[in-house]
Chain A
């Protein structure tokens, strides 16, 4: 059985559960702090860092403003190079296309390169339902799959697991899916990586069909790009007879030259490396080198919905580096699962509502899963203004009437504040009654959470305006 985020609780409830897990909090804290430090060093190394970000944001905006032309150009080039292009409006359609393509090959076990889009559409489960066993090959994705777990990070899906948990999963599960973990496996990361190498080697060598995503699709040449570290991507992209790449329509960049911007930003910002160990590019098929059959499945699944949102469409610039979640103080405490989506953290808080709409209470809770501290804005390589989008989505939630009680309360407060006499009266009431309130109390209803971990400030006897009226600001 494959787990999914279907029916996940809204952020506050899910987050409360995760925050209570000490082991998880420690794992996430350690990993995010490690990567934050590395990223900071590598970004600071480039005196032109902000110029690269400016270019990246503008190139992505250019694509989004001209997406139809760009996609048609990519389709033409991929087709001319021997590939077949398919289009999918939504997850179900994308899954159906991939399932039929795999079925046509007669294979029942395939290998996959980590792809957040295939996680988003639930491809593994769809293939499983059709009797096809899709094996993940990225180390973190393998940990998640073997542990019947859910991804918690866009770059390192098993970021919430520590080494000893990973060891236990390997020892318990590897034998059920192929070559067992070596005897006496310890939790040394190098040993764990070696166990994965051995377990997956036979799968790579035997696989006839591979499924990948892509980091970029170059429109002018029809070239696909996969950036990875381990070599599992190269294995899948190179050794299979049939390659099926499932790619979101927003992954397009106009020109080959544009890669010089994104490839210099991505690894530095994602993993704190100047370049990831391996970047593979391919255009259709090549005689005598790699797969003989290549399919490109272009997926919408809500991207055009996001594109229609004037403030929100900037989220489609995202290149999935994960820096926003690595730097986010909320993500650091909750980990990724609290967001109920394969896209957690700040990008998840904006992208999920933009892709799916705000009708579902879980999705509608995400724009509020932020203190608006703005740390994500500072590290985004494509200059997404997360706080602007969060605020705009909150306005959409408020306008949609999802919070009738809060709306009435804030409405009343706003009315009082904008009305001079009413506000003065309110201040007077507060400062008259306030000093009589005990400070260590439990506030009723929605405010109760505040007083669970804090006392309230003492309410002073005299307001500032009371003092001013009495003294005219004479401080002597």
Chain B
């Protein structure tokens, strides 16, 4: 059952950190996050000063730049009691990278340590903080799910995304073969080592096609952009959709336009 919030209980002040990639390239993910959270009774705010978590800088070795962005993140989100992030890799930055980037700046290190526990990846927020798995979603399509490396081994989401997906009405969920293998994106890896990245991505795309799914879901749009770019270039009509965009859809929205509807749901 959907959990509805009791009236007159003030919710914690919740901020959405949409991430720079979603802000510019995948705004639908941010809109879906807002819609879903509101449907579940969470009044989410979007602090407009937010920019980028600095993951790309950190992963490429630019720690001073990362520290500047960490400072900016603290300034932007410091007043919020919880910060929800529709990206497993960006959600992990405050806990994993900021302490290293803040080395030599005790003030920043303290601020980061204080803030990091309040930064939560979106699916974990749903299952652990709101305690919901059935979010009232309807998605009558064949869907497979790629667990991104950060969601597996950094944010350690475990089976949370699967529990959420399996509770979606109308969904035909199929397991992705060799799902725990990296898609080859790796941020600047895909630019510095395009041949290897392309080979990894090609194998991932092949596994997606093996499932016969019309939709590939994940909790990081960066990886979806990588895999989707390959599928699209090769002319395969598989849609890449952030998990939250699936969870946000209801019967009122109907099926995703242009995507085959599964038999059982018709």
Residues of B35-94 whose CB lies within 8 A of A: 35, 38, 44, 46, 48-49, 51-52, 54, 56-63, 65-66, 68-69, 71-72
Interface residues contributed by chain B, number (CB under 8 Å): 70
Q: Is the CB of A407 within 8 A of B62?
A: yes
Q: Is the CB of A372 within 8 A of B48?
A: no
Q: Is the CB of A371 within 8 A of B199?
A: no
Given A330-B196, A460-B25: A395 in contact with B61 (beta carbons within 8 A): yes
Q: Is the CB of B229 within 8 A of A473?
A: no
Partner of B62 from the list A370, A411, A420, A464 (CB cut-off 8 Å) is A411
Q: Is the CB of B149 within 8 A of A464?
A: no
Given A368-B188, A370-B186, A410-B57: A427 in contact with B23 (beta carbons within 8 A): yes
Q: Which residue of A lies closest to B188 (CB)?
A: A368
Q: Is the CB of B63 within 8 A of A395?
A: yes
Given A329-B200, A456-B229, A465-B23: A450 in contact with B191 (beta carbons within 8 A): yes
Given A12-B193, A453-B230: A420 in contact with B51 (beta carbons within 8 A): yes
Q: Is the CB of B189 within 8 A of A371?
A: yes
Residues of A161-182 whose CB lies within 8 A of B: none
Q: Which residue of B lies closest to A331 (CB)?
A: B196
Please name all residues of chain A whose beta carbon is closer than 8 Å to the beta carbon of B57 when the two chains form the complex. 410, 413-414
Partner of B65 from the list A368, A414, A452, A462 (CB cut-off 8 Å) is A414
Interface residues contributed by chain A, number (CB under 8 Å): 73
Is B12 in the interface zone, CB < 8 Å from A? no
Interface string of A294-324 (1 = CB under 8 A from B): 0000000000000000000000000000000
Is A256 in the interface zone, CB < 8 Å from B? no
Q: Which residue of B lies closest to A15 (CB)?
A: B196
Q: Is the CB of B185 within 8 A of A371?
A: yes
Q: Which residue of A lies closest to B202 (CB)?
A: A453
Chain B interface, >50% SS class: helix
Residues of B1-55 whose CB lies within 8 A of A: 18, 20, 22-28, 30-31, 34-35, 38, 44, 46, 48-49, 51-52, 54
Q: Is the CB of A457 within 8 A of B23?
A: no
Q: Is the CB of B229 within 8 A of A414?
A: no
* Distance to closest chain A CB from B184 (angstroms): 6
Please name all residues of chain B whose beta carbon is closer than 8 Å to the beta carbon of A459 when the two chains form the complex. 24-25
Q: Which residue of B lies closest to A393 (CB)?
A: B61
Is A31 in the interface zone, CB < 8 Å from B? no
Q: Is the CB of A368 within 8 A of B153?
A: no
Given A15-B195, A330-B200, A453-B202: A391 in contact with B182 (beta carbons within 8 A): no
* Distance to closest chain B CB from A125 (angstroms): 30
Q: List 22 A-B contacts (CB under 8 A).
A: A333-B196, A369-B196, A370-B186, A371-B185, A371-B200, A372-B186, A373-B182, A373-B186, A375-B180, A394-B60, A397-B61, A398-B61, A410-B60, A414-B54, A418-B72, A423-B52, A424-B48, A449-B190, A452-B194, A457-B25, A465-B23, A469-B48
Point out residues on B near A: beta carbons under 8 Å.
18, 20, 22-28, 30-31, 34-35, 38, 44, 46, 48-49, 51-52, 54, 56-63, 65-66, 68-69, 71-72, 97, 100, 149, 152-154, 180-182, 184-202, 225-226, 228-230, 232-233
